[in-house]
């Protein structure tokens, strides 16, 4: 009998604990391959900004799966580093339009090889078949539990709320 539902002696049979460990490892490899210029979350937001020029902070946070409070501080740091600019939108002075700078785009393109190595290293313990399985299962788990966290993903391109 596989000990999936029975005794909970070993904490490492708990999916939550394993996920925490996997994330730690992922972050660690990230810094190894991508350097110290960006944190994983900063990278994710900048990468998402690249394909959604002029988006506002709330929408960018949403597609990045990050709570808006956190998203604001992340954007502030990216602005400090000169990787994006924030400008108040005249037609809706609540929103700030975000634009990636040249330095930001340069950095992203410099980081492409690292991001590929990161992915390969993280999945290296699995065979190619297992890699596909794992990604499919993880995607399914995230997608269907999506609404659980404070920062549920707005799927795909989330109707950029007519910034213009």
Specify the stretch interacting with DNA by CB under 7 A; choose among 106-114, 118-126, 136-144, 148-156: 148-156
In angstroms, give the least distance from the CB of 141 to a second copy.
5
Shortest Cβ 78–DNA spacing (Å): 8
Minimum Å gap between C-beta 94 and a second copy is 26
- 143 in contact with a second copy (CB under 8 A): yes
Site for DNA in 10-39 (CB under 7 A): 20, 24, 27-28, 39
Per-residue CA distances from 78 to 2, 71, 125 (Å) = 47, 10, 33
x/- map, 78-117, a second copy, by CB under 8 A: ----------------------------------x--xx-
DSSP string of 66-132, one letter each residue: --HHHHHHHHHHHHHTTSEEEEEETTEEEEEEEEE-HHHHHHHHHHHHHHHHHHHHHHTTS-HHHHH
Nearest to 83 by CA among 62, 60, 61, 99: 99
Distance CA 10, CA 136 (A): 26
| Helices vs. strands in the chain: H and E counts, helices first | 6, 2
Binding residues vs a second copy (CB under 8 A): 2, 4, 8-9, 11-30, 32, 40-41, 44, 47-48, 51, 64-65, 112, 115-116, 118-119, 121-126, 130-135, 137-146, 148-151, 153
């Amino acid at each position: 009998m596989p000990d999936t539902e029975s005794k909970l002696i070993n904490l490492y049979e708990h999916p939550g604990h394993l996920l925490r460990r996997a994330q730690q490892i992922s972050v660690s490899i990230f810094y190894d391959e991508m350097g110290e210029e960006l944190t994983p979350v900063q990278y994710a937001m900048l990468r998402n900004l690249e394909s959604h020029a002029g988006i506002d902070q709330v929408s960018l946070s949403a597609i990045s799966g990050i709570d808006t409070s956190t998203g604001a501080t992340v954007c502030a740091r990216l602005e400090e580093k000169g990787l994006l600019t924030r400008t108040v939108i005249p037609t809706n002075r609540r929103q700030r339009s975000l634009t990636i700078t040249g330095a930001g785009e340069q950095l992203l393109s410099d980081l492409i090889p690292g991001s590929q190595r990161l992915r390969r290293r993280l999945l290296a313990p699995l065979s190619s078949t297992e890699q596909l399985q794992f990604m499919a299962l993880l995607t399914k788990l995230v997608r269907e539990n999506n609404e659980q966290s404070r920062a549920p993903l707005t799927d795909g391109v989330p109707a950029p709320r007519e910034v213009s």
